[in-house]
Structure 1
């Protein structure tokens, strides 16, 4: 017995070490994988475990190379862990992550196992993490089906289940930054229009085809000497179309990485040593060809994206426009990006700038004028184009040409002279404080917003923000006509406008009596010009001429959220699916502001009137005049001037001027409950109500009668389980103590994963107020808010 006890202890020790150290490749139902413990593939190639990243402090389940732990090849970005207490285990047949929140995050949520299925998960030497059914060995889920930024041998990029209702699409997506594995702006996939092509996409719609199948192998646009190291194959049938590849015999492993910069990196490992080649997709070749650069060419232009050169001059017709602000290369880029643009040419008489022609190619060929110029026509021009010109020269009376050309030149020279004078006046009136603002913090990324607007804008020399002339704004809004007024907020009125090139815009004009002055104006531009997300409204430019302070945004045809949910006739237009889409979109936009944007932003004035809706009812957060920028180490801020809207303010902000990410979470919770109920929380502050919306929701929650809160127009389009879950999430967001509220990362996870268990909410803030008299209500408010100078935004329809 004395000999047996040490032996048992020794075996127990080795049993622990065998799992703590990399000695197993499989996770069984009886196992738990904690932080610091790993699985290692049988051949010792790949390691799976939890790792933390410095950007947010979250922990992720990931796979990396054993030879180099910095080479992370797969990350489960959908299920971040709050801290080092995370555990991976198999529960009810599924891979489940939990942390201190005790919320169950199902890794294989897209392919769930049966509750009775006996499963195990194995890390393979291919880098694939596979969940299999124990008895049959059937694959239930695999990490290769949800790749991150790395394309490994054996992975399939393409379309699957084309003849079924369960179609799937596999692509490689870049990280947001070297330290942040969240979804970046670049992706690698097969082309949806031509599946034989491999295409890199950018979030703003720009694309570049980097390779194609020639029948025998893949051809890349970059130097092809490395292609032999990747044995590509292409498969296509009625049900699927995909690319895959394998490693050549000369290497242990080869793989691709879609870099966060947009570069495509190729990696090679031989004898444990790793080398790489990075392909800069916008770098011209030695011959000067620039076709490798990103191009925003629409895929549906009937005549393609190539242009044929012809001699001659574009006609001076109503469907020809000119711009002094674009060189010929910019003119080509703009014309390519607009399928309606048939041709472009340099300005006549050696003037800087270019002309754009919109209309039928056949009509254009009849109208081309003789002259020493070059015209670039979309697609292939007919070979007899010169005969057209010759016939035209003979057919048209010489006298009419002699009259038309001088008149056209005279009008053009007058227009050009006026434009120069206007531009000079504009630059002379630019506020010196404004210039300093952008000299200290230049919005470099705004060069992506050029497009059509450059034809009407002047661009200040010291920054790339688009500056509209006041005359252009007056013309676009019909001199700020009342019929074009969309609404009015604390900042001032908002108008609908239309530029001469046809683009619709929203014009936000600072009111001279507004309490939100030049400080808020500069703050909004400084903040929003650095942001880029599909759920944030897009700033196109501004006007700072004379005493005007004007912001120009993309136009949102469906106005704002409050325009629909608080109107009994329009509520029916937002069924449950659309409301869920709006809730999730707002959450994604806030998560970007708090965590993934170039700056950490606290909005501070989130409300339904600041949620705009595009043509597809997708939400976009707007109005950043009150927003504040947080440093990486900042937790909360304090102000002596409370700004915002009653009903949406968190208690710590309204009473003490303290604001943080949790302030926006509170506002989001109010909006969520308003979307579900169709009722305003702000009504409490505007009328003699004993209970506000939050109090009403809390009482219904305690009574188990949450469905009574639901907007009556939703009954035919929703399930009670989803509604109750959303109400519970809303109550979690409006809890009185900021520390009790979830982060927006938590909220997004809870909204997207219906299987997660929700914690019970605590009592919300502003539960009930005595309102027996107006005086009582007034004194109560004074008692709560007397510490700070308060600026309250009123709510108006946009």
Structure 2
């Protein structure tokens, strides 16, 4: 009897086990139930969006925490209570029913069969099959707003359609899909109007998406099915990770991925600036988000309506300034024989409506020149030759990536371009000559000072040398600004209400920072060099040179600068949540930095630092990492700012020395503060201090006046050795369930602040430790500055020069 019961129990368990991912006629699901794919990655069940009590049936990632919905069945007809079911109807269709057994949604398959089942596959696809196992309907054929792995995106299938809002899954205004005319492009439409486009498909990537590098080559594929229809498939090679693309209710496609800590992050967004809106600057306009205003006319063109253009209404676009040679009456032309030509624009998002021409690169120009209606051409290896006839729409200037675009121009425009090039050559020659003259004068001055002893002559000559050097320096400095958009003083004064105090965001050693709003509506932060500051000019120039060459989501973006009226100002993207210290240390503000957010901030800072040290074109040592230099965007994601003290390293350089030690008390590594030696490990030290401050909610300098305590590093070290590190954790985030994770971060922080640079991990190792569960982390050694830094009576001169103001840049004398 017992054996029979045991066998029956096993049989029941077996039935449940094999049907956990399937809905059948005899096995529907109710509101409280779900089915889960066999690999446990996806589940189907009922849900309610945030701030909405209505019930919907959807497929979502089977990940604890916030539900990430990838497909919704009854998006237009929600349930009003928890009494719904998902079941197979008598005609074989899959349906969602309410408590009154009314059909709210159905697969609506016309083929009649009463022996079907619906299975949730490991891909997240819900498939309805007949008794022969043949698919008769699948959710991938009727997507909602999400494009997941293994899903096909084709012009012949229904497009992605956005939710109406974040709380309403019904169909919104935006849709997305492929446009396969001539060359495939991905589009977002606002109702029926283009809102965004990816640029042409280049074989591996969309060439209108900067930064879409080789990492995507194993992700997106263009394929052809048996009927000859083309489609894209998202086939991410790393099957252990979860990644998808979602069209949100604002018309933006976000790439969302799950990191090693179980948090969802937006790793790419289709709209980084206003220039990503389709046709922002109208026909023959060019958009550059780093310029002010962002719209300009292509070379050889002028605004169609100057008054509207000056108001920031650019939709009318531009018209050609004069006649092309091919448009004139050749016999009556003064410039007969002077042919039209092409002006080269680099790093461009090419216009819409490209026409591919199957000819080699060296022959791409000629047929366009012979056709008067051909207004531009370009060549890309993955596509070939492209021509554009008629208007050029949706052209954008990138800071990197993009391709060369050749714009048809009249001979007179070509001549203007040549004159500009000649001016650049002359300016370069003047700079070099001026430097040689200044250097020669300096040598003469030194020789006279040493051998002649004619004080008056030396004095006069030295004054001339100083003037010459100043002229040369100013010329060189202005040459550096050519890579960065220049804003006028008037534009910034208008944006900040004439730099009114109510617009001031803060003030540091550099000077005040103001919030502003440009005429196009873009919010900015203006960093203004104070005339009374004894420092800042060198830092200003350094920041212009360094940060203008950097592009990373965890670095603040420099939009431009202003050098008019003896003013020196830097213009950044505006960070609505200001700096990290305003949330971490301000007791008057509500605590919104839970552990999850703090972990995301720590990892984001590490990723930005890794980019500076290893992944950017330049190797950058920041030298001033601190909480006030970490800005937070609208989603509280971190961005490293303030590159005034940063230094560029050569390709093989890993360490440098300086006689001018600069930084902030509490964040400088011992070898830098004491000996002027700085390297990647100096930044790692500052990052370790940051990490411990974020975990503890206390400043490193908060122990400065407490005679009974050490610095934060010493306090952390003592608690670690006494196996009481949990006392270091900020009470606002402490939770026994995540205690292990927080202690691991403390461990990593102590590894970063070890006294000797050789003992500290580099930032790539730090990021690996943060994002993976490494079981055997090395034991940390003694941190720097673990003892008292000296009483007021015994401080060294170097220590007395240190500032404990976290906003002010500290300058101390090197030993």
Question: TM-score interval w.r.t. the shorter chain?
Answer: 0.3 to 0.5
TM-score, structure 1 length as denominator? 0.48
